Chain A
Amino acid sequence: MTDGTSSQFRIGAKFAPSRAQLRGALGILVVFVAWQISVWVIDLPAYFYPSPADVASAFVELTRKGILPSYIADSAWRYVAGVATGLSLGVVFGLLIGLSRFWSRLLGPIINFFYAIVEVAWIPLLVIWIGYGFNTILIAISYVVFFPVLYNTLTGVQTVQKVLINAVRTLGASRRQVLTSVILPSALPNIITGFRVGAGFAFRGLIFAEMIAAGSGLGFLIFEGATTRQTDRVVVGMIMMGLLWLALDRLFLRPVEVATIERWGLVRAKGEGM
C-alpha cells in the first residue's frame, strides 16, 4: 500500500524534472503571463477582472487574517467526514447486494433511481429539513460517494473467481472467513477505484453545498467573494480548490489506487458516468 506513495516522494526528493514536467511548468507560466497581459490590454475594473497581483495580495491578506486556513480546515473536515461515511455505507451495501440475490432484487431498482437524483438536487430539500450547516453538507457528500463505491464494490464482488471461494471452503473456511480472506481482498481494487471516482464528484459537491448551505469553507469563500464584489477572493478560492484537488488526487488517491491494483490485481471502473 505504501509503495505508490513512497515512490511519489522519491520522485519529489530527487527532483530531476523530466522534459514533460518542464514543458508543463512552462504551460502554467504562459497562462499566468497571458492573464497579466490580458489584464493590461482589456483594462477593466479589478472587481470585474482581477490581475494576478490582486489575487496574490488577496491570498496574502486572507492567509494573514487566518480566514483561508480556517476555511480550508472547515472544508477538509466536512469532506473527510462525508467521504468516510459514504465510503463505509457504499462498501456495506455493495457487499450486501453483491452477495445476496434477494437484496440485489430488493434494493437494486430503488438504488438505481436514487442514483439518478444527483446530490445537487437534494440540497434544497436538506436545507428545508435540516437547515444550513454541517449535517446537510455531510449528507450531501456521503450521498455522492455512496453510489460509485457501491457500484464498484458490486462489480468487485461479482467478479471474484468462484474457484477461490471453493478452494477456501474446501479447506474448511466459514462464511465469515470467505468474506474477509477472499471476497474483500479481491474486491478491494474495485472499491478503491469507486472511492476515487466518488471522491472526485464529492469535491465538487462540497464546493456547491458550501455555496448554498454554509457560512465558511472554500465554497463559501468563492460565493461570498462574488456577492461582495471581492473578485480577487473568488479567484483565490478557485485556485485553492484546484490545487487542493490536484494534491489530493495525485499525492493520495492515485498512489493508493495504483498500489492496490498492483497488490491485488486488475480493475475496471464502474458507475463513472454519473
Chain B
Amino acid sequence: MTDQSVASRPAFPLSPAVMTGLLPFVVVLTAWALAPALSDIPAYKLPSPAKVWSTFTSMTLDGSLLSEIWHSLQRLATGYILGNLIAIPLGLAIALNRAVAETLTPVLSFFQSIAGIAWVPLAIIWFGVGQGSVLFVIANTIFFASIYSTVIGVQSIPQVLYRAALCHGASRWDIVTSVVIPGALVQILVGLRTSMAYGWRALVAAEMIAGTNGIGYMTLEAVQWYQTEIVILGMILIGILWLALDFLIFRPIERVTVKRWGLLS
C-alpha cells in the first residue's frame, strides 16, 4: 500500500541546537517526576521515573529484560530473513513474465493490505499461542510488503532497456543480472526498509496478542497486573530498539544507495 514512495527520514538540524533539543526531554521528565506530588494521579497509573529506572536495573541484573529483547530480535531477524528470502527471488521470477505479473498483482496487493496484524487471530487457531504464531505473522507481513515492492520495481523498468540489452546480444541470464536486478534494486531496497517497519509493528503487536515472551508480550502482560512501570519501560525500549535498528541497518544502506544510484526516488 505504501509502495512506490521513498523511505527516508528527514534529519533535523542538530549540531548547535543539542541543548535546545534536550530541553523538552528535561521538561517531560520533570513533569513526570513531579506529577504524583502535584496531582492525585495514583501511582499505579503513573509510576515515577525512579521506579521505572529501578525496574530497569533489576530486570537487567536478573537477565530477564535481556532475554525478552533477545527473543524479540531473534524472532524479527528470523521472520525478516525468511520473508525476504522467499519474497525477493519469487518477486523477481513473477515479474519476469508479464502475464504472471499481471495475474498476480491484484492478489498480492490484496494480501498486502490484510497482511500483518489481522492474521494474528487466525495464526493462533493454526499454530497456537507462542513462537509459531508470532513468526508466521512477521514473516507473512514482511513477505507481502517485500514481494509487492519487488514486482513493482521490475515492472517499472523501461522496456527500452530490455531491447537495448537484447540488441547487444544479451542472454536471458544477462538480462536478469544486468537489467532486471539493478533496475529493480531501488524498489527492492525500499521494500527491505518498508517491510522492516511493518515487520517491527507486527512483531510487537503479535507478541502482545499471541506471544509467550518478548518485549511486546512483556508490555501488554504487565497491564493485567497494573505494573505500569513495566509498560512504560517496554515502550521506551521499543522506541530505542527501533532507533538502533534504523541507525545500524538502514541509514548505512540508504547512504550507500544514494551514493551509488543517486536519490532514492
Docked-complex contact B234 and A124, CB < 8 angstroms: yes
B239 and A237 within 8 A (CB): no
CA of A272 to CA of B44 in the docked complex: distance in angstroms?
A: 35
A128 touches B114 (CB 8 A): no
Contacts of B204 in A (CB 8 A): 118, 120-121
Name B's interface SS: helix
B232 touches A125 (CB 8 A): yes
Residues of B within 8 A of A211 (CB): 117, 120-121, 209
**Is chain A's binding surface mostly helix, strand, loop or mixed?**
helix
Interface string of A42-53 (1 = CB under 8 A from B): 000001100000
Q: Which of B12-36 contact A (CB under 8 A)?
A: 12-14, 17-18, 20-25, 28
A162 at the interface (CB under 8 A from B): no
CA distance A272 to B6 in the complex (A): 7
- As a 0/1 sequence over residues 109 to 134 of chain A, the CB contacts with chain B under 8 angstroms (1 = contact) are 11011101110111111011100000
| Residue contact A109 to B121, C-beta cutoff 8 Å | no
The answer to the question of B246 belonging to the interface, with a C-beta cut-off of 8 Å to chain A, is yes
* Known A212-B220, A272-B194, A273-B246; 18 more pairs at CB < 8 Å: A24-B107, A109-B22, A110-B25, A113-B239, A113-B243, A117-B242, A123-B208, A123-B220, A124-B219, A128-B231, A207-B118, A212-B208, A222-B121, A229-B125, A249-B1, A269-B7, A272-B6, A273-B8
B interface residues with partner A (beta carbon < 8 Å): 1-2, 5-10, 12-14, 17-18, 20-25, 28, 44-45, 99, 102-107, 109-111, 113-114, 116-122, 124-126, 193-194, 196-198, 200-201, 204-205, 208-209, 216, 219-220, 222-223, 226, 228, 231-232, 234-236, 238-240, 242-243, 246, 250, 263, 265
7 contacts between A and B (CB under 8 A): A20-B105, A121-B239, A124-B231, A128-B44, A223-B120, A231-B125, A269-B5
